[in-house]
Amino acid sequence: MTSPEGAVEGGLDEPTGLEPEQGSLELLGPDDDWRPADWEQATAAVLRKSRRMREEDPDSLVWEKLTRTTLDDIPVTPLGTASLLDDLLTAGRPARAGDWDVRAHLAAGPAKAGNEALLVDLEGGVTSVWVEADAGTDLGVLLDGVLVDLAPVVLDAPTAPLAVAEAFLAHVGDTDLPAGTNLGVGATAPADDLVAVARLAAERGVLGVVVDGTAVHDRGASDAQELGWSMAAAARVLRVLTEAGMGVDDAAGLVELRYAVTDEQFASIAKLRAARRLWARVLELSGATSSAAQRVHAVTSRPMMSRYDPWVNMLRTTVAAFAAGVGGADAVTVLPFDAPLGRPDAFGRRIARNTSHLLVDEAHVAHVADPAGGSYAVEKLTDDLAVAGWEVLGRLDTPEGPDEQALEEMVARTVELRDQQVATRERPLTGLTEFPNLAEELPEREPYDGWAGVRSYGAAFEAMRDEPPAARVLLATLGPVAAHTARATFATNLLAAGGVAVDVAGPTKGPDDLVAAHDGHTVVCLAGADAAYDEWGRAAAEALRAAGATRVVVAGKPREWADDSCATGVDALAFLTRTREALA
């Protein structure tokens, strides 16, 4: 059956007849012409109701009250507005089109077991593999059955990059290797190894160098510090290779950039977008003329993950992988949720690879080019991070590579600030500093070195959980359940974050009920309403001391009759340390 020209079979002869008159489709109603001042007014009302603003404060104060500052001292406003795009210093957008490369990671270990894990990953939909190896690794066994002409292999051999690269090329022989294959010499490797591996890569037409920003991220670096270090390391690669006679375009074409992405999704999106702008600027200043596409590999952050309540890691890595995809990563590695506990098992690896498939094939995240492009807030944060990263580059760059002493000083300050935020729970870690479960049974995993050198954000709290005190705290609840439950829950969770269990007194009417619940506890924590504290808190504290308690804590603001207190904003780490010492 044929249709007249311009007609649609089974439909209208003139599809354009369905089109509304141009300019007649109004997405805004007559009452929808809102301005930032309207938002200020509505938000100020909420802040006044919560007593974060006074009645006499101007509405415009909401910007100051709600603007937060990143670890790089970059202000992030609570609302994106068009004015944020004024005077941006950088430009550039991610170039990836379509699905990202789902890359599985295999930590160093027995070759046979590693091979079995790789084959399962590849059969399960992984599209490339990132393997750790050393001079003693039998690549013939490790890669047996791996179709290296279809699935790119990325090597990671910091102790023997040249030997492993040569062994890999010997294993693959004359096989045509796919785009994305990388011999994987590190950007800070000895110059001789860097040049030798780069030449091998150039001869085979594959990538040869990895600028691995996750290495400094794992030590505690901020986003800008990771960006600045990666650019300094990448500049060192260009210097070494061009001094060895390679053209700058050829050298740049061998490089893949690797970054960590965290569950702070907007910061991670902005970091990947900023990385492309910075690398483009480095190449421009280096005299490169090639327009070859950049390769960015994103890895879900190791430090953000926790050994306790590891199931929450699934949520963290999902958010991070989403940010990686939106940020334009060419390849994404989701680390298994159980990786902090030991060598991941088959279930952990399956969840990791399926995370990308859910985002790509079901959520269709990869079907939109640069989804964050044009977002006022993300564009501003991208620009700010690019500028901050460039400033760090200026402080780290030397002819020999990144200045490690300067980096250590910068990272130490960042770690101190982050640790303080975690300690006060300004930066909450679900399952560790928030909603901990002392009764949980952790999955058992085979020990391995995959987490060596990783500085977990919750390391101090994990150390406390590793060695819980035998003694328990009496949660001396004042009054009926409805009156004390809020503060009792707060105190219970706070103590559990330090591995400290509680015995709950339950509903009480006076000091005698608390004494009856006392069973040799040296530390007691009073939890109740302020009215109950005023009425019989002092008497309760005195009665419990007489019963044998040596330390009285109050949940809420400090009281003169208590030895210590805990409330929102308290340095939880310091409080828990004092409490555990009293329990010893």
What is the tens place of the pLDDT at every residue in 293-351?
A: 789 999 999 999 999 999 999 999 999 999 999 999 999 999 999 999 999 999 999 99
Query: What does DSSP say about strands 68-69 and 75-76: parallel, antiparallel, or unpaired?
Result: antiparallel
Give percent above pLDDT 90 in the chain.
91
| Confidence at residue 291, expressed as pLDDT on a 0 to 100 scale | 63
The residue ranges of DSSP E strands in 177-308, in sequence order, are: 182-186, 207-212, 255-261, 296-300
- How far is residue 308's CA from residue 498's CA, in Å, rounded to a whole number? 12
What is the tens place of the pLDDT at every residue in 99-123?
A: 999 999 999 999 999 999 999 999 9
Tokens of 572: 């939880």
Annotate 19-37 with DSSP letters as a single string.
SPPTT---SS-TT----HH
pLDDT at 12 over 80: no
Average pLDDT over residues 71-94: 93
Residue type, 485: T
- The radius of gyration of the chain from alpha carbons, rounded to an integer in Å, stands at 29
Q: Which residues does residue 504 pair with via DSSP β-bridges, in sequence order?
A: 475
CB 350 within 8 A of CB 124: yes
pLDDT band at 500 (very low <50, low <70, confident <90, very high): very high
- How far is residue 368's CA from residue 383's CA, in Å, rounded to a whole number? 21
| Confidence at residue 294, expressed as pLDDT on a 0 to 100 scale | 86
pLDDT at 2 over 60: no
Which region among 26-35, 41-50, 554-563 has the lowest average model confidence (pLDDT)? 26-35
What is the tens place of the pLDDT at every residue in 350-397?
A: 999 999 999 999 999 999 989 999 999 999 999 999 999 999 999 999
> With the CA atoms of 416, 420, 421 and 422 taken in that order, what torsion angle do they form, in degrees rounded to the nearest 10?
100
Query: Residues 286-294: contacts with CB within 8 Å, 24+ apart?
Result: 286/235, 286/238, 286/248, 286/252, 287/248, 288/248, 288/249, 288/252, 289/249, 290/249, 290/252, 290/253, 292/249, 292/252, 292/253, 293/95, 293/330, 294/95, 294/257, 294/330
pLDDT band at 584 (very low <50, low <70, confident <90, very high): confident
What is the tens place of the pLDDT at every residue in 147-206?
A: 999 999 999 999 999 999 999 999 999 999 999 999 999 999 999 999 999 999 999 999
CA end-to-end span of the chain = 89
Name the strand (E) or helix (H) holding 564: strand 564-566
Tell me the Ramachandran region of residue 220: left when phi exceeds 0, alpha when psi lies from -120 to 50, beta otherwise: left
| Confidence at residue 257, expressed as pLDDT on a 0 to 100 scale | 98
What is the tens place of the pLDDT at every residue in 512-551?
A: 999 999 999 999 999 999 999 999 999 999 999 999 999 9
Tokens of 418: 């982050």
pLDDT band at 13 (very low <50, low <70, confident <90, very high): low
| Confidence at residue 1, expressed as pLDDT on a 0 to 100 scale | 43
- How far is residue 230's CA from residue 220's CA, in Å, rounded to a whole number? 14
Return the closest-CA partner of residue 504 out of 493, 304, 219.
493
pLDDT at 32 over 90: no
pLDDT band at 8 (very low <50, low <70, confident <90, very high): low
- How far is residue 40's CA from residue 44's CA, in Å, rounded to a whole number? 6
What is the tens place of the pLDDT at every residue in 429-461?
A: 999 999 999 999 999 999 999 999 999 999 999
Which region among 21-25, 153-157, 221-225, 488-492 has the lowest average model confidence (pLDDT)? 21-25
Taking the CA atoms of 512, 517, 519 and 521 in sequence, report the sign of the dihedral they define.
negative
Mean pLDDT of the chain: 94
pLDDT at 19 over 90: no
Q: Please report which residue ranges of 498-571 form alpha helices under DSSP H.
A: 511-517, 530-532, 538-546
pLDDT at 558 over 50: yes
pLDDT at 7 over 70: no
CA distances from 425 to 240, 311, 379, 421, 568 (A): 45, 20, 29, 6, 8
pLDDT at 17 over 70: no
| Confidence at residue 31, expressed as pLDDT on a 0 to 100 scale | 77
pLDDT band at 14 (very low <50, low <70, confident <90, very high): low
pLDDT band at 16 (very low <50, low <70, confident <90, very high): low
pLDDT at 97 over 90: no
- How far is residue 184's CA from residue 139's CA, in Å, rounded to a whole number? 15
| Confidence at residue 302, expressed as pLDDT on a 0 to 100 scale | 98
Query: What does DSSP say about strands 331-333 and 473-477: parallel, antiparallel, or unpaired?
Result: unpaired
CA distances from 571 to 433, 493, 534, 575, 576 (A): 12, 14, 25, 6, 9
Whole-structure pTM value:
0.92
Tokens of 431: 């399952």
